[in-house]
Amino acid sequence: MKKRILCIMLATLLSGCAMSSFVGRDVSDFHDVYDNSVNRTVLLNILRSMDNAPMHFSGLTNIHGSISGTVGVGLSLPFGPLEKSTARDTATPSYSVVANPTFDVGDLETQNFIAGMLNPIDPKVFKNFLDSGLDYRIAMLLFVSGLSRSDGKNQYPVILNSPESPRLVCYLTVAKGGLKPGDLPPPPYSIVLSPNDCRGGYGATESEFFAFLRVLNRLNPVYANIYSELKPIGPRLKLVGANFKDLTAMDTSKFALVGGSGKDGVQLATIEQKLTLCETQPDDDQLLHSAQDDVCKKHELPAPAIGTTNIGDKAQILSGLNLRSPVGMYKYVGELLSYQRQAHRCITLDFRGNWNDTCEGDVLFKVNSPALPSQIQATYKGTSYGVGGQNQCRTPDTCDHSTEVMNVLSLLLGLNKNAKDLPVTSSVQLVP
């Protein structure tokens, strides 16, 4: 009898161990399924954008799993005279484990989700990506849809960061044939549709997209700073009587007191948060503020006086940057793939001196052929596409940044899945 009890206990223990291993494997498998689902959604929408096809967003909203186990013991207890029989008492343990996974595929295209995907990226989100270590060149290419330049007095047209733009940039100070790959001509410049529209055909022109790359090529490493700009409103007030009582009840997130507490009193000021981009090591061709400028090192500044400008007299200054929406970023990466397919070359992070790079350089984004191993795969129009491989960065200057781009797009997709996570874009302004 003791042996039978021991057998039953052993069967129960074995079934418990089996259940534990099954649960561990199933949880790991569910994670893999979810990862693959999100990655394929991102990649498929990039491929759809390559053909200007409609984008659609769906995903695994819930994964359920039930695991049931049964344990049994079969007993054989011969009785009666044994005579010549070899039958003996036996106990046969048995167990079985059944897993029943189910999942829900949800449509993410709600009103709030689409609104978040169409709104420009919150500048704070742009700053967070820069602060997290994302290469500033990747950030500028993905997040910035266009920029304008100024000579300190005049602001010139926006130069679009779009491979599909048919427009040209006309450099008014450079003669036709005088534009070199490493040059960055100072303003003035204009936007034209034909080389003949640039100084009667005698001026230097290039595609608007390459003009944007030319500017990016001359930028030193960039970081972002958020500061509060205090703009005085109304007359000065003395901190006495009713005034003091009213001022103590003000919303300090929107208003502040400036001017000290002397006999002249204080002045009420509105608080407006702004973000500026700064170069860590600006050179003679400085394009942004330097780390020594107040807007790059302080977190609270008075508003500039009316009629003045804070861009200085630097001829090369970037006086305006436009941020994309998440949908715009998907479309942009799709445009890059379309351009690379037609031009038989890839857009790389360093364009200096070589405008005919192949897809073996410091590539921003590319898809692999079906024959190459890839981290992320998806089938589109019957063709298998892959992103990422085992040797993404063979040397510091030769990398495939495709998975980094996928990570940014995936995080922005997750940021907009819930209405409460939608960024507030109206409280922060991007300034040079």
Give per-residue pLDDT as tens, 358-380. 677 788 898 886 666 778 888 89
Query: Hey, what are 207's tokens?
Result: 């595609």
Residue-wise pLDDT for 171-215, tens only, equals 998 998 888 877 888 888 999 999 999 988 889 999 999 999 988
Domain that holds residue 58: 2-78+87-113
> What is the reported pLDDT for 272?
79
What mean pLDDT, rounded, does the chain reach?
75
Average pLDDT of the residues in 113-128: 88
* 149 has pLDDT over 70: yes
Residue with tokens 């063709």: 383
- Examine the fold and report which residue of 251, 280, 315 is the final residue of a domain before the chain moves on: 315
Q: Please give the backbone phi and psi of residue 160, each rounded to the nearest 5 degrees, phi first.
A: -80, 140
Range ranked top by mean pLDDT from 147-161, 201-215, 249-263 = 201-215
> In this predicted model, which residue has the larger pLDDT, 129 or 152?
129
Start-to-end C-alpha separation, the chain: 86
Range ranked top by mean pLDDT from 62-71, 293-302, 305-314 = 293-302
Contacts of 424 (CB under 8 A, 6+ apart): 122
Q: How confident is the model at residue 24 (pLDDT cuts 50, 70, 90)?
A: low
Q: How confident is the model at residue 72 (pLDDT cuts 50, 70, 90)?
A: low
Average pLDDT of the residues in 266-292: 75
- Examine the fold and report which residue of 315, 330, 359 is the final residue of a domain before the chain moves on: 315
Distance between CA atoms of residues 156 and 313, nearest Å = 15
Query: Hey, what are 276's tokens?
Result: 């500026």
By DSSP bridging, strand 266-279 and strand 428-431 are: parallel
Lowest-confidence region among 36-40, 52-56, 143-147, 286-290: 286-290
pTM of the model: 0.74
> What is the reported pLDDT for 419?
45
Does 42 reside within a domain? yes
Residue 176 burial class via C-beta count within 10 angstroms: exposed 0-12, middle 13-18, buried 19 and up:
middle
> What is the reported pLDDT for 142?
95
Does 106 reside within a domain? yes
Distance between CA atoms of residues 161 and 343, nearest Å = 17
Is residue 89 within 8 Å of 4, Cβ to Cβ? Answer: yes
**SS3 label, residue 167:** coil
> What is the reported pLDDT for 242?
53
> What is the reported pLDDT for 31?
65
> What is the reported pLDDT for 244?
61
Does 50 reside within a domain? yes
Is residue 104 within 8 Å of 60, Cβ to Cβ? Answer: yes
In total, how many domains does the chain have?
2
Is residue 311 within 8 Å of 152, Cβ to Cβ? Answer: yes
> What is the reported pLDDT for 282?
59
Q: Please give the backbone phi and psi of residue 161, each rounded to the nearest 5 degrees, phi first.
A: -95, 75
Does 98 reside within a domain? yes
By DSSP bridging, strand 189-192 and strand 168-175 are: antiparallel
Contacts of 102 (CB under 8 A, 6+ apart): 63, 64, 65
Q: What number of residues does the chain have? A: 432
> What is the reported pLDDT for 336?
93
> In this predicted model, which residue has the larger pLDDT, 424 or 339?
339
> What is the reported pLDDT for 198?
92
Does 406 reside within a domain? no
Range ranked top by mean pLDDT from 48-52, 113-117, 260-264, 304-308 = 48-52
Average pLDDT of the residues in 244-269: 70
* 326 has pLDDT over 80: yes
Contacts of 232 (CB under 8 A, 6+ apart): 258, 259, 267, 268, 269, 302, 303
> What is the reported pLDDT for 92?
72
Query: Hey, what are 283's tokens?
Result: 């050179």
Distance between CA atoms of residues 161 and 208, nearest Å = 7
Residue-wise pLDDT for 169-180, tens only, equals 999 989 988 888
Residue 387's beta-bridge partner residues?
A: 376
Does 295 reside within a domain? yes
Is residue 310 within 8 Å of 134, Cβ to Cβ? Answer: no
Does 191 reside within a domain? no
Does 166 reside within a domain? no
Residue-wise pLDDT for 389-414, tens only, equals 655 666 656 788 888 999 999 999 88
> In this predicted model, which residue has the larger pLDDT, 324 or 283?
324
